[in-house]
Homo-oligomer: A and B are copies of this chain.
Amino acid sequence: MHAVLDSVASPGQSTRLRAFLDERAPATPCLVVDLDVVRTNYHAMRAALPEATIFYAVKANPAPEVVAALAAEGSSFDVASTGEIDLCLAQGADPESLSYGNPIKKAADIAYAYRRGVRRYTFDSDGDLANLAEHAPGSRVWCRFLVDAPQSGTPFGKKFGCAPEMALRLLARAADLGLVVDGACFHVGSQHTDAAAWTSGIAEAGRIARGLAEAGVATRSLNLGGGFPASYRDAAPPLAVHAEAIRTAVAEHFDTAPELVVEPGRAIVATAGVIRAEVVLVSRKSDHDEHRWVYLDIGRYSGLAETENEYIAYRLRTAHPPTPDGPVIIAGPTCDGDDVIYQNTPYRLPTALRAGDHVDILDAGAYTASYSSVSFNGFPPLPTLFVG
């Protein structure tokens, strides 16, 4: 059974954000992001994998302030749509630093990206490859192949990537079509806590690179995708462990070291954000129930989308002493039965908790505000404030 913990992975920024929230007392719910932590996390990733180029996965937190801060630090950007391309360019990113990493693209969107100067693309199908050859001639391309990654916190299933032997065929075809073959790409799945996950993907990528070399097609880089985890209620292994696993596998499976590319999102922004919510109601379903229901003014449709199936178990903090406490079910404010945050994951909150008290949701800088619904049940989207 987990108790309510204060931040352990990032005690400094947590304290700073808490002070900001206590002093400013903004309307709830809100997300506060510390841009200094974003910068610190970016440089920690660079230090852990100095041989890799970092393409920040904009989808994790597309706030213009975050993108601008990372552009100023020299980051490159992994974008998923023309909207994200426009966003990055408006925040000062060089089009050369953008990679259009979504293998699902309309032909018109490829043409738009190319007009805006984007010259790196990921694909995983014949159809997208043909569109790239037509609308983004001469660009650099990665082909994404499928890996099994059952240990991912939020597994990708089979939506992205193709079979490795098909990736080999497609990359050879890409060369024939006049595209610049960068190499293979895979993604272990978001919030991946098992460093060994990289090994099989890198081994497969090595086989693809050798197959291409035998076909006379040179490759230059290996795109490892994202998936680097953040610590939530369960601590994740430090970046260094993942870096070492990657380094070892690359040395084993590649004759010539490829340039490395990583696409972290969560690992850059998760610990930079805290959501402050308010308790709307504390109730029991019968006069005999042990569990209290704690309803917050934020839920699955206003920012906590990653609590679907209770995938991400955030650390929570209240202004009360952690004990005495008791078991709770935590839910959002909408008239929607699915808007329950945690009912299977055991959570305990202080018995002193009352309506009107605040609850801080820690390490919530990734995959929160941008998931908010526009107006479900008449509740507005989650706003973001910035410090740093």
Instruction: Mark A residues whose CB is within 8 Å of B.
Output: 57-59, 62, 79-87, 101-107, 124-128, 131, 146, 154-163, 165-166, 169, 189-190, 278, 280-287, 293, 295, 297, 301, 305, 308, 331, 333-340, 343, 355-356, 369-381
- Whether B335 contacts A101 by the Cβ 8 Å rule is yes
Smallest CB separation, A350 vs chain B (Å): 16
Smallest CB separation, A174 vs chain B (Å): 15
Interface centre among A80, A103, A160, A375 (most CB of B within 10 A): A375
- Whether B378 contacts A87 by the Cβ 8 Å rule is yes
Bound: A58/B280 CA distance, A: 21
CB<8 Å pairs between A and B, sample of 29 = A59-B335, A79-B378, A80-B335, A81-B378, A82-B378, A83-B377, A83-B379, A84-B377, A87-B378, A102-B335, A104-B295, A104-B333, A105-B281, A106-B297, A107-B355, A124-B283, A125-B283, A126-B283, A128-B281, A155-B337, A157-B340, A159-B337, A159-B340, A162-B283, A162-B285, A166-B285, A305-B373, A370-B374, A370-B375
Bound: A123/B338 CA distance, A: 19
- Whether B370 contacts A331 by the Cβ 8 Å rule is no
- Whether B377 contacts A102 by the Cβ 8 Å rule is yes
Smallest CB separation, A238 vs chain B (Å): 25
Smallest CB separation, A292 vs chain B (Å): 10
Bound: A167/B146 CA distance, A: 53
A337's partner among B102, B156, B163, B372 (CB-CB below 8 A) is: B156
Closest-by-CB residue of B relative to A295 is B104
A378's partner among B80, B125, B293 (CB-CB below 8 A) is: B80
Closest-by-CB residue of B relative to A88 is B378
Smallest CB separation, A239 vs chain B (Å): 22
Chain B residues with Cβ under 8 A from A125's Cβ?
281, 283-284
Smallest CB separation, A282 vs chain B (Å): 6
A338's partner among B82, B308, B338, B356 (CB-CB below 8 A) is: B308
- Whether A337 contacts B378 by the Cβ 8 Å rule is no
- Whether A380 contacts B83 by the Cβ 8 Å rule is yes
Chain B residues with Cβ under 8 A from A84's Cβ?
377-378
Bound: A58/B157 CA distance, A: 35
Chain B residues with Cβ under 8 A from A356's Cβ?
106-107
State whether A59 and B377 are in contact (beta carbons under 8 Å apart), knowing that A154-B337, A280-B106 are contacts in the complex: yes
Chain B residues with Cβ under 8 A from A340's Cβ?
157, 159
- Whether B286 contacts A163 by the Cβ 8 Å rule is yes
- Whether B287 contacts A166 by the Cβ 8 Å rule is yes
Closest-by-CB residue of B relative to A83 is B378
- Whether B127 contacts A161 by the Cβ 8 Å rule is no
Smallest CB separation, A246 vs chain B (Å): 21
- Whether B189 contacts A287 by the Cβ 8 Å rule is no
Bound: A154/B373 CA distance, A: 19
- Whether B127 contacts A283 by the Cβ 8 Å rule is yes
Chain B residues with Cβ under 8 A from A370's Cβ?
373-377
Bound: A290/B120 CA distance, A: 31
Bound: A293/B360 CA distance, A: 40
Smallest CB separation, A76 vs chain B (Å): 16
Smallest CB separation, A204 vs chain B (Å): 14
- Whether B83 contacts A285 by the Cβ 8 Å rule is no
Chain B residues with Cβ under 8 A from A334's Cβ?
59, 80, 102
Closest-by-CB residue of B relative to A155 is B337
- Whether A104 contacts B281 by the Cβ 8 Å rule is yes
